[in-house]
Structure 1
Amino acid sequence: MPSPAAEPPPSIRLLGDRLLVRLDGEAAERRSSSGIVIPATAVVGRKLAWAHVAAVGQGVRQVGVGDRVLFDPDDRAEVELTGVVYVLLREKDVHGVARPEAQGEGTGLYL
C-alpha cells in the first residue's frame, strides 16, 4: 500500500470545518510494550485511531493537509473517492495532532 503522502489529493472541496482523512494501515496483530502479541480479534475498550489529513475545509484552523490526527473511529462517516476510502470528520472531533518528528534533536539526557 502506498504511503498517504505519495497519493495525489482527492478532487473535492470541503465546506466549513470538515476534514477528509485516510486511516493509517492497521496491523493484523500488535505487540504490547512488554512484547506480548495481541491478536487482531482481541476486544479492546474504546480505542482511538490515527489518520492522515488529505483535504480540509476553509473553516479549519488548527489542522492542515498532511497532518496526522487522532480521532474516535466509532464516530465517522466513510466515503470512497477514486477507489480510496476516506473518513469525513469535523475539526472538533479530532482529539490531537501528532508532532512532526524533530530532526537531529535529542533530549539532552544521557544515562
Structure 2
Amino acid sequence: MTADPDLDNGLPIRLLHDRVLVRLEGSEGERRSSAGIVIPATASMGRRLAWATAVGVGPNVRAIVSGDRVLYDPDDRSEVELHGREYVLLRERDVHAVAAQRVDTDSTGLYL
C-alpha cells in the first residue's frame, strides 16, 4: 500500500484485497453551494454522493492510487479512526468515479 505520510506516525497499516482507505473532504455539517449559499446539515436532500481523497489502496485495486479523488455513496461506508483521524474504508467496486490527472478522457474507465 502506498500510504499517506500522516499515517506513518503510528502502527504500519496494510490494506488487503480491493480495499480503499479515504479521507473525507470538508465536514458533514453545513456546506456551501457553488453560489456561496450556506446549506444547513439538517436540510433534507435526496441521495447525494460525496468526494474523498484516497490515502491508501490494497494490492488488488486496479483503478485507484493514493492521492486520487474518489466519488462514493456516504450511505455505503465503514468508518474507522486511525491515529486520531477519521477515515472511510471502501471496496473498489463501491467507488463510482475517480478524478486524477492520469485519467484518460477517451476511456470509459470500465473493466471486466
**Normalising TM by the smaller chain, what interval?**
0.7 to 0.9
Q: Over the residues paired in the alignment, what is the CA RMSD in angstroms?
A: 2.1
Aligned residues: 96
Distance 1:46 1:52, change over 3 A: same
Partner secondary structure for residue 7 of structure 1: helix
TM-score by length of 2: 0.73
Classify 1:66/1:34 alpha carbon distance in 2 versus 1 (closer, same or farther; 3 Å). closer
Counting aligned pairs with the same residue, the percent is 62
Deviation at 1:27, TM superposition (A): 6.6
- State the 1:33 CA deviation: 4.3
Within 5 Å, give how 1:56-95 maps onto structure 2: 56-95=57-96
1:34-88 CA-to-partner distances (Å, cap 9, x unmatched) read: 5543222101111111111111000000000011101001111111111111111
Cα distance change of structure 1 residues 64 and 78 upon mapping to structure 2, 3 Å threshold? same
TM-score using structure 1 length: 0.74
Partner of 2:107: none
Residue 26 of structure 2 aligns with which residue? 25
